[in-house]
Amino acid sequence: MQSTGTRNPATTPTHCPYCALQCGMNLTPVEGGTVEVSDRADFPVNRGALCGKGRTAAAVLAPGARLTSPLVRSGDGALVPAGWDEALDRIARNLERTRARYGADALGVFGGGGLTNEKAYALGKFARVVLGTSQIDYNGRFCMSSAAAAGTRAFGLDRGLPFPLEDIPRTGCVILVGSNPAETMPPSLRYFTELRENGGTLIVVDPRRTKTAEQADLHLAPRPGTDLALALGMLHLVVAEGRVDEAYVEERTSGWEEARAAAMAHWPEHVERITGVSVPELREAVRLFCAPEAAMVLTARGPEQQAKGTDTVGAWINLCLATGRAGRPRSGYGCLTGQGNGQGGREHGQKADQLPGYRKLTDPAARRHVAEVWGVDPDSLPGPGRSAYELLDALGTDIRSLLVMGSNPVVSAPRAAHVEGRLRSLDFLAVCDVVLSETAELADVVLPVTQWAEETGTTTNLEGRVLLRRRAITPPEGVRGDLDVLHGLAGRLGVEKGFPVDPEEVFEELRRASAGGPADYSGIDYRRLARENGVFWPCPAPPADGTGATPHPGTPRLFLDRFATDDGRARFAPVAHRPSAEEPDDAYPVLLTTGRVVAQYQSGAQTRRVAELNAAAPGPFVELHPRLAARLGAAEGDPLAVVSRRGRAVAPARITTAIRPDTVFMPFHWPGEGRANTLTNPALDPASRMPEFKVCAVRVEVAR
């Protein structure tokens, strides 16, 4: 439900539970235990606008849509209701049994990019302090890990956007690579519309002519998996046409000569053969990008979800650096984070190799600092564990019991049928979720947990803006918060202190743990967040000696004075194009790429329970070009079988000239025979460990 008008005194200002825009909204309690969603114009990111998912978010609060009792696996194999003590006792008993028999690293923890900062922090602490396991990662590894690795390599620090969204309309040109915000985060599209209204230009790089690409001044449609070559071809032209900002390169960067030499091996005609983007289009893109004083490159999952995603993002960063478009006003490289708290989710400890504050788990000083906050011996903290797909692939062998919190890998993981099999092979599986997801259906114990309108906590949006989500209503009887779950399990496993259920108490500890780290939240507290529309990290606390007692204002724009490297210089990456992990051949002659549709979200576990959203997007489909459809003898709506080396998915044909003739597209929100991730390739980027979701070889057949 949605309404507008005068704010009710009972109305709570908060934020949407879905994407990383974290749009502001107001919630007013109504009969039936749910809320009415209304506009909140004071929040600067969305300025009152909401997409269909945000407008209908309250539907998932209804008792019929969500879990309201713990479930345990009975003797006959069915999931049956149980009390909380029985459910928590069963989880603790099985985790302890696994640890005693196989060791701590036989216990796995898999988190989610939708968890609040408090939950992500507590989950990482629970894994390392209570369970003693290194085997923790989260589904954010599938989101922006390649951009994070490339950003850290180039700038010494990763934050999705190193500038606020409000800078986008004020720049001169934006290259949007592999992103379709018109469908993935619709309220953000106004920034690109305003850019063009202000005289700026928009270049969209996407193998499909998406709704976003339709609004671009220039649409480049490269063959999937060739974004790296495209960026290198543009950099080659920047050099050849004398467009390098030599003074900037000399003053603020290092490694240019090596990167320049690598780019010069990618001359325009060679890049045209690789990508399918013509030389005139390449030259026009370079002209548009270099003409204004300021410009940006923004990437998303398209270039990042590749086995060479880190190098691909690095090549686009090189383009920014060579033209002086980073660390300057209204210029820079940024990543459009996808998940609601994908940014904060990895900053505070649920990623396999990181401690709170974006500290490295292998850094002795970082281990000492966090261990002191936690009251443990630094040597007791385990080292880095497996990345997300590697963790899932080890289930049932090295990892025998798994706790899942806020994720649905049965639908969202690559090579999903294999991952589903690995989940089924576990000795024990426990899942905390709002709904009975496809992963929860496999569990031995399912715990019903609160969701965004029923709990208070912080998230960090794609700009690095820390926000306060406020509790608006009381959760149904039988539902508890994730912090309550971790508190109950920790006590049963012998750790009586250190896992409070009050989110503000957890955040106060998070502030201390993050202090002095790259993602420093120590100058942020709930009172400040309640007064302000978010605070950008890093935001250190004033010195304890009383000098400089004025609160830090936060850092909306990074790198204006220096980069976060040891010498303050940005680093070029000498990268070269290489083929995708799986190229087409006679047996699998077509490329598959995957993505989202506007009315569904991620694995669809929640949005598929909303009637209005299902009416708009009722199921999966296979998008293909008319020329490919003619070769197959396929008509609109015919069932098509898409087959890869990993499995087969079947969905209706959707014929359109908006896609390349050598490529098919499938959205990934659905389980069952139309599950797109049955097909996708788990080949991993060597730096980020990101799977290659965005390109694999398939054959397409009319399913008789």
DSSP secondary structure, 40-60, as one string: -TT-TTTTT---HHHHTGGGG
> How confident is residue 2, by pLDDT bands cut at 50, 70 and 90?
very low
Q: Name the CA radius of gyration of the chain, rounded.
A: 24
pLDDT in tens, 566-587: 999 999 999 999 999 999 999 9
* Across 146-155, 344-353, 357-366, 487-496, least confident range: 344-353
> Which domains, and CATH codes, for the chain?
2-65 (2.20.25.90), 73-142+343-449+477-518 (3.40.50.740), 147-336 (3.40.228.10), 590-702 (2.40.40.20)
pLDDT in tens, 504-541: 999 999 999 999 999 999 999 999 999 999 999 999 99
pLDDT at 105 over 60: yes
pLDDT at 4 over 70: no
For 614-672, the pLDDT digits (tens) are 999 999 999 999 999 999 999 999 999 999 999 999 999 999 999 999 999 999 999 99
Residue 546 has pLDDT above 70, yes or no: no
Model confidence at 8: pLDDT above 90: no
CB atoms within 10 A of CB 378: 15
Which whole number is the average pLDDT over 436-460?
97
Question: DSSP letter string over 242-298?
Answer: T---HHHHHHHEE-HHHHHHHHHTS-HHHHHHHH---HHHHHHHHHHHHSSS--EEE
pLDDT tens-place string over residues 311-369: 999 999 999 999 999 999 999 999 998 888 989 988 999 999 999 999 999 999 999 99
pLDDT confidence of residue 33:
78
Amino acid at 589: P
Does residue 653 contact residue 624 with C-beta atoms inside 8 Å?
A: yes
CA dihedral over 432, 433, 435, 439, signed as positive or negative = negative
Question: Largest alpha-carbon pair distance within the chain?
Answer: 77
In the three-class reduction of DSSP (H, G, I as helix; E, B as strand; rest coil), residue 204 is classed as strand
Q: What is the pLDDT of residue 1?
A: 41
Which class for 531: exposed (0-12), middle (13-18), buried (19 or more C-beta within 10 A)?
A: exposed
Helix, strand, or coil here: 666? strand
Query: Under 8 Å CB-to-CB from 434, ≥6 apart: which residues?
Result: 60, 66, 67, 448, 449, 450, 451, 605, 606
Mean model confidence pLDDT for the chain: 96
**pLDDT for the residue numbered 318:** 98
Report pLDDT digits (tens) over 31-85: 877 899 999 999 999 999 999 999 999 999 988 889 999 999 999 999 999 999 9
C-alpha 521: how far from chain center: 20
pLDDT higher than threshold 90 for residue 7: no
**pLDDT at residue 99 tops 70:** yes
Quick one: residue 599, left, alpha or beta (phi over 0 = left, psi -120 to 50 = alpha)?
alpha
Residues above pLDDT 90, as percent of the chain: 94
Of the ranges 97-101, 348-352, 369-373, 382-386, which one carries the lowest mean pLDDT score?
Answer: 348-352
Confidence of residue 3 (pLDDT cuts 50, 70, 90): very low
pLDDT of 32 reads 79
455 Ramachandran zone, left/alpha/beta (phi>0; psi -120 to 50): beta
SS (H, E, C) 100-116: HHHCHHHEEEEECCCCC
**pLDDT for 21-37, tens place per residue?**
999 999 999 987 789 99
E strand or H helix at 489, and its extent?
Answer: helix 482-492
